[in-house]
Amino acid sequence: MASEIQIRVNERVHNVTADPDTPLLYVLMNDLELQGPRFGCGLAQCGSCSVLVNGSETRSCVTPVSAVVGKSVITLEGLPSWYAQQKKLSKTPALHPVQQALIDEQAVQCGYCFNGMIIQAVDLLSKTPHPTEAQIRRAMNGHLCRCGSYPRVIRAIERASHAMTGAVENTASERLAQESRAAEGVEE
């Protein structure tokens, strides 16, 4: 039976009315109208629904909403401010460095899998700031991509790792970001 449930998503408290067994994904999509976590398989096989629960990548399609009561859920939308909080930055960046690196590497094809890719990469880099390529591949192995974007995602995670820990690559990243903004044109 539906009941009132209080959950904390992207550092805001939400009261939702749902059956406690409802997978978190449906609450995030339909009640909170978030676009990051999305349906892919409903079987925890692909990673398109991933969110961070208390900082760890979690498949929201098989996680009952009642299981995250009292925990912190961060979705794709909440990553920049979560990152700012973790790093104690004075200002929230527009994008998490992983998101920026994916733009810089032009890694996206259809992009549907990138919610999960980004969440998992953020999880990885928060725990292993300098992963080897083998560590990246292992950490990302549970996230599928039909378009075959893996090689560029690996490069983007390496780039983000540098950006998050070193100043030199930051400069390159910022330069590319400027170029990227200049060329985005269409949305300005």
Partner 1 sequence: MKGTIPPCLLPRREFLKSGGALVIGLSLRGAIADTYAAEQAAGAAVRGDVAGPPDPKQIDTWLAIHSDNTATVYIGYVELGQGSTTSLLQVSAEELDLDLSQVRTVRLDTNITPNQGGTYSSSSIARGSPAIRTAAAEARQALLEMASKKLGAPVERLTVSKGVVTVGAMGGESQSVTYGELVGDKLFHLAFTGTAPAKPVSEYKLVGTSPLRNDIPEKVSGKYAYLQHMRLPGMIHGRIVRPRGQTAYGSGAKVATLDERSIAHIPGARVLRKADFVGVVADREWDAVRAARELKVTWEIPAVLPGSDRVYEAMRAEKTSDRVVLERGDVERAIGGAAHVASGHYRGPYQAHAPFGPNGALADVTSDQALVICSTQDVYATRNTLATVLGLPAQKVRVQYYEGSGTYGHSCYDDAAQAAAILSQLAGRPVRLQFMRWDEHGWDLYGPAHVGEVRAAADAGGKIIAYQYDGWHHNWSAVETSQQLALGTPASEWRDGAAQMVNPSDCGGMYDIANVRLVNHHVPGMNYLRGAWLRSPLDLSFSFASEQTIDDLARQVRLDPYEFRRRNITNERWMGVLDRVAKAAQWEPRPPASKLSGEKIVSGRGIGLGTHLTSYGSAVAIVEVNKETGKVLVKRLYGAIDAGLAVNPAFIENQISGQLVQTASRMLLEEVTFNKTNVTSLDWTSYPILRFEECPEVFPMVVQRLDQKSTGAGEEVMAAAAGAIGCAFFDATGVHMRAFPLTPDRVLAALHSA
The closest of 172, 170, 149, 152 to 161, measured between CA atoms, is: 170
CA distance 174 to 179: 9
Binding range to partner 1, per CB under 8 A, among 81-89, 123-131, 159-167, 175-183: 175-183
Helix (H) or strand (E) holding 50: strand 50-53
* Least Å from the CB of residue 130 to partner 1: 18
Q: Residues 121 to 150: which contact partner 1 by CB under 8 A?
A: 136-138, 140-150
Per CB under 8 A, the list member of 16, 18, 53, 160 interacting with partner 1 is 18
Q: Which range, of 25-33, 83-91, 123-131, 166-174, touches partner 1 by CB under 8 A?
A: 25-33
**Distance separating alpha carbons of residues 113 and 127, to the nearest angstrom:** 22
Please report which residue ranges of the chain form alpha helices under DSSP H: 24-26, 79-87, 97-104, 114-127, 133-140, 150-165, 167-184
User: What is the contact surface with partner 1 in residues (CB under 8 A)?
Assistant: 2, 18-19, 22-23, 26, 29-30, 33-36, 38-43, 45-46, 48, 75-77, 94-95, 99, 102-103, 106, 108-115, 118, 136-138, 140-154, 179-180, 182-188
